């Protein structure tokens, strides 16, 4: 039995040096040898008393997998009879190969008295097996390779709560990809990602491939650069001390890569940088001398870590005027190619003789891809199951793009993650783009030869052809001008949304950075619409630009149909779920003022929940951060709402948004009954945690009037998901509003007036804008009434009768 158990977890060896240090009884020595080697127990025996939950979890998984029974009496006897004669004062600084240290010390893994949360009972055995299996099967693997695998496993555990794991699940490719991207998106205090590029290799080894040799520079090195992890350890350390779970000696964290430590106070101004030993020159260099935080030449360190945010190296030069200038295009007659030159380029794309340099011309003109992005595209190969192979997956995790010849598709990962939970719009993790035949006829026909799609020689040929066309306007055609022509014709001329163009071009415009986090684009529809635009562009004979743009005009989607896939932001509620939610709440609420004044606590809470839904869906405020606004924030005469918003680096933002007619009337009706209801519950002996001039919820269990927050709504509404109630709504209404307005074709500047994302200085409320705020607000009010209120079937909750 012990042999089968050891083989199942790829555990080798029997005796262990810690046996003498822990005074293991002789009859338990064989069992201790297997367990100690399995969990790589340190030679002095530290950690052993904390490992029982993990060992029991491993045994239970082995029993479930093989249908065998383990001798549990021996396990209990082993942990009861083994005593550590002299425990080290701290176990936090263990810097050696130890999967138990890797998986056990993360506070989210444990609760109570070192018990493993049920959601990890399937994850831990899988990672233990994979760590050992990879280490044993790789030729020449060192202890540092085992340590790096274990560190990757720990980061997978940290990212796992995003997936709402259950005790039992299958290990299909899609799930493992969700797990990997969740770990890669995890951040230290919402600022620095805990994973860096070298660690993606070990994550790929654990989840996707079974390689036998370590290629040079491809894994198995010392793995000493763990600066990000040290930041995470320090961020979690105080919480562990306060909970009394583990002792922590921060002196043990010192290393040659030990650098800076963030705090958990949010983006507020600091007196100085936190680390007491931080060198001034190191600060000025952004920490690059020791710590690798650089991703695609973006911000080196979070600006909020500095007393002056603008001293951070490689800061976004991002003043609004600079962004405005950088995103403007020059007039067409200066940069956009003429129709004659465009036809010459298309003629090369339509040549049947396959040459990759012609595909470069096609991708630049029809997708707007830049030279830098096209140089990174690789050829990908799928497995027999239709999933990406291990090498392809590793590059996908590194945000690479792949061309799949057998499907004639371009694949990449949706960088905002995925969503496949009922009640939310379906956002797949892998994005697939069907390329037109005009491009694919010049691309590789099979994926056997994996590597870059385009060589340096291909780009040279493409540039040479463009130069031979001669001057067009003020300069000769170039790959950059092909990209500008796509912007001019497809985006600014035919009306393709800039967010959609960003996804096609593998870029993020400065003024759209925030929108990528909130807007979900109907990808299935958008790709079909883009294909139609490309077809109209290719089939149009010699004609004027105005006629061409008329045929290419982008048509916005008006209705979300079943089976539609989205790209971009996750956690955007499905409109069908919101309709069910609002219908259920309306059916619970008394339909007249008199009945609502004598309503029960459950009915009142349902009414407040409905007002919450109506307000969040029509104004775009962040309800998850703030309770319901004060009445003094409403101007019910002018029909406006003042929103005191979040801190943005050094200053606090605020904005005024219009109220649509339905919301305006609902708030006017509420003001007529608010004081009466407040005094009614006070007379019944309820205490109040909210001001008099703010909407409240009734908590019968504590006999208190509490503020309106998403958690309180879920707790006090007393409606179930089976009935149609939407729990955990959070900021979902804000996501839905911005997504709906974007997808029906509302200009981005108008959406920014609602969302508060001021980045380009051309929004109506900015001093550099030529638009009238009042006219824009009235137009937005009418648009929200039509596209949100009427679309979701919302209405004023009660009459004054």
The pLDDT, as a whole number, for residue 324 is 46
145-149, 226-230, 322-326, 490-494, range with greatest mean pLDDT? 490-494
DSSP state of 644: E
- pLDDT of 591 higher than 60: yes
User: What is the average pLDDT across 627-651?
Assistant: 79
Q: Which helix (H) or strand (E) holds 434?
A: strand 430-434
**CA–CA gap between residue 234 and residue 228 (Å, rounded):** 10
**CA–CA gap between residue 146 and residue 133 (Å, rounded):** 10
The pLDDT, as a whole number, for residue 507 is 84
**CA–CA gap between residue 214 and residue 204 (Å, rounded):** 13
Q: Which residues of 637-650 are buried (b: 16+ CB within 10 A; e: fewer)?
A: eebbbebebeeeee
Task: State both tokens at 433.
Answer: 């783009």
Strands 409-413 and 402-404, sheet pairing: antiparallel
DSSP state of 799: B
User: What is the average pLDDT across 588-601?
Assistant: 89
- pLDDT of 595 higher than 80: yes
Please report, for residues 283, 337, 343, 347, 546, the alpha-carbon distance to residue 542 in angstroms, rounded to integers and kept in the order given: 59, 15, 9, 13, 12
DSSP state of 698: E
72-81, 255-264, 578-587, 616-625, range with greatest mean pLDDT? 578-587
The pLDDT, as a whole number, for residue 786 is 93
Give 435's contacts (C-beta < 8 A, 6+ positions apart).
Answer: 403, 408, 409, 410, 443
Least confident window among 259-268, 467-476, 655-664: 259-268
What percent of the chain clears pLDDT 70, i.e. is strictly above it? 75
The pLDDT, as a whole number, for residue 292 is 33
Least confident window among 107-111, 206-210, 436-440, 759-763: 107-111
- Please provide the average confidence, as pLDDT, over all residues in the chain: 77
- pLDDT of 305 higher than 60: no
DSSP state of 337: P
User: What is the average pLDDT across 256-277?
Assistant: 33
Largest CA distance in the chain: 93
The pLDDT, as a whole number, for residue 97 is 47
Nearest one of 752, 756, 746, 735 to 519, comparing CA atoms: 735
- pLDDT of 302 higher than 50: no
- pLDDT of 443 higher than 70: yes
pLDDT bucket at 769, cuts 50 / 70 / 90:
low
**CA–CA gap between residue 379 and residue 446 (Å, rounded):** 8
Higher pLDDT, 116 or 182: 182
* Pair 707, 628: CB distance under 8 Å: yes
The alpha carbon dihedral of 498, 502, 503, 505 has a sign of: positive
Least confident window among 14-28, 366-380, 583-597, 778-792: 14-28
The pLDDT, as a whole number, for residue 463 is 95
Q: What is the 3-state secondary structure (H, E, C) of 646-693?
A: EEECCEEEEEEEECCHHHHHHHHHHHHHHHHHHHHHHHCCCEECCCCC
Task: State both tokens at 185.
Answer: 């998106």
User: What is the average pLDDT across 171-186?
Assistant: 82
- pLDDT of 335 higher than 80: no
**CA–CA gap between residue 441 and residue 436 (Å, rounded):** 9
User: How many other CB atoms sit within 10 Å of the CB of residue 697?
Assistant: 25
* Pair 788, 740: CB distance under 8 Å: yes
Strands (E), 22-66: none
Strands 192-193 and 187-188, sheet pairing: antiparallel
pLDDT tens, residue by residue, 396-431: 887 788 999 989 999 998 877 778 778 889 898 899
Higher pLDDT, 83 or 587: 587
Least confident window among 54-63, 376-385, 636-645, 721-730: 721-730
The pLDDT, as a whole number, for residue 244 is 30
Higher pLDDT, 513 or 716: 716
The residues with which 115 forms a beta bridge, in sequence order, are: 111
Task: State both tokens at 227.
Answer: 């600066």
Nearest one of 573, 565, 530, 574 to 430, comparing CA atoms: 565
User: What is the average pLDDT across 607-617?
Assistant: 92
**CA–CA gap between residue 186 and residue 155 (Å, rounded):** 8
The pLDDT, as a whole number, for residue 167 is 52
User: How many other CB atoms sit within 10 Å of the CB of residue 373?
Assistant: 16
* Pair 542, 405: CB distance under 8 Å: no
- pLDDT of 666 higher than 90: yes
The residues with which 696 forms a beta bridge, in sequence order, are: 707
- pLDDT of 310 higher than 60: no
User: What is the average pLDDT across 20-25?
Assistant: 82
Nearest one of 552, 542, 476 to 340, comparing CA atoms: 542
Task: State both tokens at 44.
Answer: 């002095």
Please report, for residues 75, 286, 438, the alpha-carbon distance to residue 539 in angstroms, rounded to integers and kept in the order given: 75, 52, 12
**CA–CA gap between residue 639 and residue 621 (Å, rounded):** 16
- pLDDT of 248 higher than 50: no
User: How many other CB atoms sit within 10 Å of the CB of residue 164?
Assistant: 8
The pLDDT, as a whole number, for residue 486 is 92
**CA–CA gap between residue 337 and residue 663 (Å, rounded):** 49
- pLDDT of 11 higher than 70: yes
What percent of the chain clears pLDDT 90, i.e. is strictly above it? 27
Nearest one of 462, 445, 468 to 371, comparing CA atoms: 462
| Residue recorded with tokens 């830049």 | 370
* Pair 12, 4: CB distance under 8 Å: no
**CA–CA gap between residue 17 and residue 591 (Å, rounded):** 76
The pLDDT, as a whole number, for residue 254 is 34
Q: Which residues of 724-738 are buried (b: 16+ CB within 10 A; e: fewer)?
A: bbbeebbbbbbbbbb
Residue 391 has φ and ψ, to the nearest 5°, of -65, -40
The pLDDT, as a whole number, for residue 447 is 65
pLDDT tens, residue by residue, 667-693: 999 999 999 999 999 999 999 988 888
User: What is the average pLDDT across 27-53?
Assistant: 81
Nearest one of 520, 316, 356, 563 to 452, comparing CA atoms: 356
- pLDDT of 251 higher than 70: no
The pTM score is: 0.76
The pLDDT, as a whole number, for residue 277 is 42
90-99, 169-178, 295-304, 410-419, range with greatest mean pLDDT? 410-419
**CA–CA gap between residue 776 and residue 753 (Å, rounded):** 9
The pLDDT, as a whole number, for residue 260 is 30
User: What is the average pLDDT across 363-387?
Assistant: 89
């Amino acid at each position: 039995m012990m042999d089968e158990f050891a083989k199942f977890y790829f555990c080798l060896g029997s005796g262990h040096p810690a046996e003498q240090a822990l005074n293991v009884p002789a009859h338990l020595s064989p069992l201790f040898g297997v367990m100690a080697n399995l969990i790589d127990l340190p030679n002095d025996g530290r950690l052993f008393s904390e490992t029982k939950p993990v060992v029991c979890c491993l045994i239970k998984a082995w029993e479930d997998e093989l249908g065998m029974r383990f001798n549990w009496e021996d396990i209990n006897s082993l942990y009861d009879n083994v005593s550590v004669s002299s425990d080290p004062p701290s176990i936090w600084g263990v810097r050696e190969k130890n999967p138990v240290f890797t998986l056990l010390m993360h506070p989210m893994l444990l609760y109570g008295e070192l018990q493993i949360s049920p959601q990890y009972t399937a994850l831990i055995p899988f990672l233990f097996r994979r760590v050992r299996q990879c280490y044993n099967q790789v030729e020449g693997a060192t202890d540092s390779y085992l340590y790096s695998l274990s560190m990757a496993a720990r980061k997978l555990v940290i990212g796992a709560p995003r997936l709402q794991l259950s005790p039992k699940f299958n290990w299909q490719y899609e799930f493992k990809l969700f797990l990997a991207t969740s770990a890669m998106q995890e951040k230290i205090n919402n600022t620095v990602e805990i994973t860096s590029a070298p660690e993606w290799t070990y994550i790929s080894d654990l989840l996707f491939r079974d390689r036998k040799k370590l290629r040079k520079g491809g894994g198995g090195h010392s793995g000493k650069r763990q600066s990000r992890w040290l930041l995470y350890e320090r961020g979690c350390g105080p919480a562990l001390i306060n909970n009394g779970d583990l002792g922590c000696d921060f002196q043990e964290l010192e290393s040659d890569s030990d650098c800076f430590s963030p705090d958990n106070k949010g983006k507020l101004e600091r007196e100085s940088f936190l680390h007491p030993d931080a060198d001034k020159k190191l600060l000025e260099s952004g920490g690059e001398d020791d710590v690798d935080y650089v991703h695609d030449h973006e911000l080196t360190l979070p600006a909020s870590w500095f007393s002056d945010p603008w001293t951070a190296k490689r800061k976004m030069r991002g003043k609004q005027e600079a962004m405005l200038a950088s995103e403007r295009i020059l007039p067409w007659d200066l940069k956009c190619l003429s129709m004659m030159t465009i036809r010459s380029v298309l003629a090369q794309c339509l040549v049947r003789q396959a040459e990759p340099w012609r595909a470069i011309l096609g991708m630049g003109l029809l997708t707007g891809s830049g030279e830098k992005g096209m140089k990174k595209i690789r050829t990908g190969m799928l497995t027999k199951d239709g999933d990406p192979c291990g090498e392809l997956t590793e590059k996908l995790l590194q945000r690479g793009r792949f061309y799949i010849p057998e499907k004639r598709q371009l694949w990449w990962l949706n960088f905002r993650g995925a969503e496949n939970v009922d009640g939310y719009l379906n956002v797949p993790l892998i994005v697939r783009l069907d390329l037109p035949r005009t491009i694919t006829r010049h691309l590789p026909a099979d994926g056997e030869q994996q590597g870059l799609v385009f060589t340096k020689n291909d780009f040279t040929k493409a540039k040479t052809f463009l130069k031979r066309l001669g001057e067009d306007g003020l300069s000769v055609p170039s790959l950059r001008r092909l990209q500008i022509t796509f912007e001019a014709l497809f985006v600014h001329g035919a009306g393709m949304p800039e967010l959609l163009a960003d996804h096609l071009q593998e870029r993020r415009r400065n003024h759209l950075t925030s929108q990528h986090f909130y807007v979900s684009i109907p990808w299935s529809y958008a790709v079909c619409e883009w294909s139609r635009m490309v077809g109209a562009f290719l089939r149009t004979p010699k004609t004027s630009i105005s006629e061409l743009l008329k045929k290419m005009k982008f048509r916005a989607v008006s209705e979300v149909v079943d089976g539609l896939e989205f790209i971009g932001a996750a956690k955007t509620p499905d409109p069908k779920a919101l309709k069910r939610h609002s219908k259920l709440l309306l059916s619970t609420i008394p339909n007249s003022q008199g009945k609502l004044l004598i309503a029960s606590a459950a009915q009142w809470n349902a009414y407040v929940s409905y007002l919450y839904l109506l307000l969040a869906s029509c104004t775009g405020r962040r309800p998850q951060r703030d309770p319901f606004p004060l009445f003094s924030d409403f101007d019910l005469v002018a029909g406006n709402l003042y929103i005191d918003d979040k801190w943005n680096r050094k200053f606090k933002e605020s904005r005024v948004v219009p109220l649509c007619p339905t919301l305006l009337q609902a708030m006017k009706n509420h003001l007529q009954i608010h004081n009466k209801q407040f005094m009614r519950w006070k007379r019944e002996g309820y205490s109040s945690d909210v001001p008099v001039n703010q909407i409240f919820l009734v908590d019968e269990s504590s006999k208190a009037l509490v503020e309106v927050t998403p958690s309180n709504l879920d707790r006090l509404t007393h409606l179930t998901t089976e009935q149609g109630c939407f729990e955990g709504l959070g900021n979902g209404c804000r996501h839905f509003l911005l997504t709906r307005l974007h997808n029906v074709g509302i200009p981005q500047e108008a959406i920014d007036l609602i969302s508060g994302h001021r980045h380009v200085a051309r929004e109506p409320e900015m001093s550099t804008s030529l638009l009238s705020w009042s006219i824009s607000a009235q137009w937005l009010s009418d648009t929200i009434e039509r596209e949100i209120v009427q679309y979701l079937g919302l209405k004023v909750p009660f009459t004054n009768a």
